[in-house]
Amino acid sequence: MTVTSRRSVLRTAALLPLALAVPAFAQAQAKKHRLLIAVSDNDPGKWNMVMNNVKNAQEDVGGVDKIDIEVVAYGPGINMLRSETPVAGHINDLLKTGVKVVGCENTMKNLKLEKSQMMSTIGYVPAAVTEIMRKQEEGWAYVRP
């Protein structure tokens, strides 16, 4: 093996980690934004703000296909998702754009709330606190208005 051929092997090897990194970087660039909004206050004014936040986020990033949004309601905020919520129309509008809206089953157990008392269009998570944690572990941004 000549010095040249040896250098060539090393040069190629040196480039390999970079070569492997490129697809990951390109993937990151193409990645959708991911936003978790958590609602824990029993405050219709705040619920309206959240609805505006979601629409603003969708517009600001350039469209609903550029961002995954999940709204999770728990604690006193669970009332945002009851059948009689004043923001039902807003929530259903957001659901049509692909936003996920979920309630915390632990909160519901504590408050003896049945799914029959909730909006029929929403989803559920077992525990909001771990939903918020896991989403952050996966790289989602967390906003608590």
Question: Which residues sit at the interface with its own copies, rule CB under 8 A?
Answer: 1, 5-6, 9-10, 12-14, 16-18, 20, 33, 35, 37-38, 40, 45-46, 49, 52-54, 56-57, 59-61, 75-76, 106, 110, 126-130, 132-134, 136-137, 141-145
Q: Which residues contact 131 (CB under 8 A, 6 or more apart)?
A: 36, 72, 102, 104, 125
Question: CA separation (Å) from 101 to 27, 70, 94, 130, 135?
Answer: 27, 6, 9, 16, 14
Nearer to its own copies, 35 or 120 (CB): 35
Per DSSP, the chain holds a count of helices (H) and strands (E) of 5, 5
Min CB(30)–its own copies separation in Å: 14
User: In 10 A of CB 142, how many CB atoms?
Assistant: 12
The beta-strand segments (E) located in the chain are 33-39, 67-73, 100-104, 123-125, 141-143
Neighbouring-strand partners of residue 36: 70, 142
Nearer to its own copies, 16 or 30 (CB): 16
Min CB(17)–its own copies separation in Å: 5
Tokens of 77: 């905020």
Nearer to its own copies, 120 or 128 (CB): 128
Min CB(130)–its own copies separation in Å: 4
Residue 38 in 3-state DSSP? strand
Nearer to its own copies, 42 or 95 (CB): 42
Min CB(54)–its own copies separation in Å: 8
Nearer to its own copies, 63 or 120 (CB): 63
Min CB(5)–its own copies separation in Å: 7
